[in-house]
Structure 1
Amino acid sequence: MNKIHLTKKDMHTRGGILDELMNNLFDVSILIDTDCKIVHISESSYKDMPKGTNVIGQDITILDNISPFRNVMKTGRASTGLLLEIHGRKCVSNIFPIEEDGQIIGAIGTIVFRNLQRVKRMFAGSDSGGPDDLGEIYNSISRIESGYTFHDFVGEDPTVKDLIEKSKKAAGSHLPVLIIGETGTGKEIIAGAIHNRRYNEQYAPYVTINCTAIPENLLESELFGHEKGAFTGADAAKPGKFEVAAGGDILLDEIGDMSLFMQSKLLRVLESKEFERVGSSRIIPLQAGIIASTNKNLFLLSEEKKFRSDLYYRLNTIELFIPPLRRRSGDIPLLLDHFCDELETKLNLTQSALRLLTGYVWPGNVRQLRNLTQRLAIFYENKQITEEDIAQELRVGQRTYNEAFGFTKDDETTPLSVIENTERSAILIAMRNQKNNVSAAARELGLSRGTLYNKLKKYGLAPKG
């Protein structure tokens, strides 16, 4: 899908949902007609123009003489994933032709300085009314690219540099990629960046499917599609994710939660490189690259017969490990600056507050740090943020978290107790993940075996015997 279907009336009507989408979903957006004359631009597009400037009716080259608007109008094919640098900021530009009754009537150009996941989330959560065909904008964006590049994975730690280098090499091949990392480490960023690197400046669909979110009885249909009447409720034929992703990539997110039944189906597809829709005998060739991600230890699960070992070894042809934030705490100041730039704000942290942040265990990893940054930006605007303030904010949800792992002292709010409580919980998680194997748990935590033994004794968690 690389066209947006609108009528001329919708395209030339101002103040409606199209304008709302252009103003709110993109950093810059431009609407042009068949003569490449500017019909409308988003409000944010005026930010860097002299006051009173009016470009409506002018040729697009007055604003953009780089992007291939005329070629899109001529060919009727979208131009996506064009990487640009505007005012020193890296961005992704896309141009989608607009079609009415088979005729190209215009085009919309979009620029996003931050990743397109923000656009997808905003659109998906919108309950605004309007023509159903405007949904094509969201579908086109979702299927054309992931929106992430390697610039979105922030860090200078050697483990991060090694990860990025290996991921770029992975993008140069079409072998299956398995991305392993704890929740919140940024697996979706690496997956999306691999796709964008692999299909730089080319139209290529990028389809994601969460293997946890879809019930098992529907997952086969979601992956492979179905024919009309294949099962109750199948009122029409529907292509599956593998079919939609042809010529691009499919991300199988949280594949460690996939049932053994579906694992066998997936293995058969990967081995034969073909599949059938549910209720059909027509063979469809597999033409999508496979990227899988998980927060589970698939090797351990395969040893326990909870994950097919043959599928694991098929998927991990290229295996990438994303380090947890606690293993690269030196990147925390960089990440704070990055999130503040996204929010267009600044935080005034004391040195002791920053030390507390870099000493924290971060069970929620980078996602937790992002959420904390957002809270601090709201509650501590134009205020100095102390160590005690950080300790208080880190306790958001801490009581529930600690009670789940056997720690119920909810009256300790000192900065030291926050770190110790979280460290204790992280050790408990690692020991449970590794079935009380101290050496394996130490590797998971990024600690030496001796250090972990000392901490186990400190918290009264040392294995008996």
Structure 2
Amino acid sequence: MMKDIRFHISLYIIIPVIFAGIAILSIIVTYNTTTYYLSKALNPQWPVVWWGMLLIAFTLICGILIVKLLIDPVKRFVIKTRGLGIVKNVNPPKHASVATDDMGKFTMVFEQVSELLGKVEARQLFPDIIGQSKVMRGVFNQIVKVAPKESTVLITGETGTGKELIARSIHQHSKRQDRPFIAINCAAIPEALLESELFGYEKGAFTGANIKKPGKFELADGGTLFLDEIGDMLLETQAKVLRAIEEHTIERVGAIKPTKVNVRFIAATNRNLEKMFEAGLFRQDLFYRLNVFSILLPPLRHRREDIPLLIEKFLNEKGKDCHLSSESLQLLMTNDWPGNVRELKNALESAAVLAGKKILPSNLPVSIKRNESLNGSTNAPIDAMMVNLNGNADLDVQIKDYERRIIVDALRRSGGVQVKAANLLGIKERSLWHRIKKHQIDIAEFKP
């Protein structure tokens, strides 16, 4: 049987080589033709002209073939994606610095499709984590890279950002996924008991130790140990944890011999460990040992586009047959969320208990409405507008949307009383009434 020998050469090489070959061939033929006719004392003008015309036709045919073979499939792909409704808008917005020719449109389509595929990949790889924003997809990319390794990971971020979810995802995508994942909150356990919880104890090691108990290190043997809020651990315990990480051995309280453990470490904190070790509150050597690969979780206010997805998930989890009004969603979208995802979840659960079929602004926790009012009557709508602008709406649409947001904010602050709202806006009550009708605003949603 004859062996099939094929060479795969990149188009980046083939196409330039073809056109370079055509140029070299034309130079050689032109030179030889001119030399031949001059040697015969003949005028080489017409032979060179005919050769030039032949060369132009040949080059034109090559260009058409390249367009047919390369550009046409791309054009068919763009048309098909437009028909499927995958891309938002094939024509780039006027303000965008993108070429308006075919290649510029192709580039924009590919960017949108790649972004869509990134969101799909995020949903498939991380079904337990809700987040399709660019910052969260960056976090997912870090997880995919570090998970198969054995490196120690330090997860930092504000409280309530979901650090344990990220740690579990790292474990689930690692080679230790079939082994235990043990989590311990260092801040939730009294310091006197933390050491015995981590390392275990022997029978009779102290009063009340009637049986031998393994610690979290031993329970996580072969798997992953997640040390949450490690910044709250005392220096004495930090020294023992450092030794366990470096030597892979532990000693139970009251034990004589050390015990070997094979554990991957993931730590998390909402504190600035660098400032802590500068202040002498955290061991510098432990910080460097933990900070092999660092993942910074963004706060919820830096990924507001994920808020509607989180709201949908939390309401479905609780089995609540209710939905948010547009004004309530605006409040949730513009809130700063110092407690992040955990605070959002608690706020929705509280509002769902008070609400009927629709969650109104009056059902939301007082802290959210207070934070909104502290922003001022004009800043709140402007901030909300900036969050939701996509750059595709024209000026008239944006002005109309901005006017509606200002009216909604005034109605919310006045509790739905139109006289007070009109005074806040500096217009007559009749003018406000006409604007409310124009924007189809439901006054009942603002009345407590």
In 1, the alpha carbon distance for the partners of 2:370 and 2:267 equals 40
How far residue 310 of structure 1 moved from its aligned partner, in angstroms, is 0.8
Deviations 1:324-380 (A, max 9, x none): 111111211111112122223354333232222111111111111111221222221
In 1, the alpha carbon distance for the partners of 2:238 and 2:150 equals 21
1:6-17 aligned at under 5 Å gives the runs none
Partner in structure 2 of residue 172 of structure 1: 148
Partner in structure 1 of residue 335 of structure 2: 360
Letter in 2 for 1:246: D
How far residue 283 of structure 1 moved from its aligned partner, in angstroms, is 2.1
In 2, the alpha carbon distance for the partners of 1:414 and 1:217 equals 40
Gaps in structure 1 of 5+ consecutive residues: 1-148, 399-412, 424-465
- Between Structure 1 and Structure 2, the one with more strand by share is 1
Which of the numbers 233, 242, 245 marks the counterpart of 2:208? 233
Which of the numbers 206, 211, 214 marks the counterpart of 2:181? 206
Give the 3-state SS of the residue equivalent to 2:252 in structure 1: coil
Partner in structure 1 of residue 430 of structure 2: none
Partner in structure 1 of residue 373 of structure 2: 417
- Between Structure 1 and Structure 2, the one with more helix by share is 2
Deviations 1:19-60 (A, max 9, x none): xxxxxxxxxxxxxxxxxxxxxxxxxxxxxxxxxxxxxxxxxx
In 2, the alpha carbon distance for the partners of 1:186 and 1:241 equals 21
2:165 is the alignment partner of 1:189: yes
* 8 A Cα contact 1:177 1:315, kept in partner: yes
Partner in structure 2 of residue 350 of structure 1: 325
Partner in structure 2 of residue 74 of structure 1: none
Letter in 1 for 2:149: S
* 8 A Cα contact 2:223 2:262, kept in partner: yes
How many aligned positions are there?
Answer: 255
Partner in structure 2 of residue 334 of structure 1: 309
How far residue 289 of structure 1 moved from its aligned partner, in angstroms, is 0.9
In 1, the alpha carbon distance for the partners of 2:279 and 2:371 equals 40
| CA pair 221-416 structure 1, distance change in 2 beyond 3 A | closer
2:288 is the alignment partner of 1:313: yes
How far residue 199 of structure 1 moved from its aligned partner, in angstroms, is 4.5
In 2, the alpha carbon distance for the partners of 1:199 and 1:368 equals 33
Deviations 1:73-114 (A, max 9, x none): xxxxxxxxxxxxxxxxxxxxxxxxxxxxxxxxxxxxxxxxxx
Letter in 2 for 1:186: G
In 2, the alpha carbon distance for the partners of 1:277 and 1:169 equals 34
TM-score when normalising by structure 1: 0.52
In 2, the alpha carbon distance for the partners of 1:288 and 1:248 equals 6
* 8 A Cα contact 1:388 1:414, kept in partner: no
Deviations 1:117-165 (A, max 9, x none): xxxxxxxxxxxxxxxxxxxxxxxxxxxxxxxx72211111111000111
TM-score when normalising by structure 2: 0.53
In 1, the alpha carbon distance for the partners of 2:265 and 2:187 equals 17
Gaps in structure 2 of 5+ consecutive residues: 1-124, 380-448
* 8 A Cα contact 2:155 2:163, kept in partner: yes
| CA pair 368-394 structure 1, distance change in 2 beyond 3 A | farther
Partner in structure 1 of residue 245 of structure 2: 270
Deviations 1:422-449 (A, max 9, x none): x9xxxxxxxxxxxxxxxxxxxxxxxxxx
* 8 A Cα contact 2:315 2:348, kept in partner: yes
Letter in 2 for 1:372: A
2:368 is the alignment partner of 1:380: no
* 8 A Cα contact 1:325 1:362, kept in partner: yes
Letter in 1 for 2:271: K
* 8 A Cα contact 2:224 2:264, kept in partner: yes
2:134 is the alignment partner of 1:158: yes
In 2, the alpha carbon distance for the partners of 1:420 and 1:172 equals 49
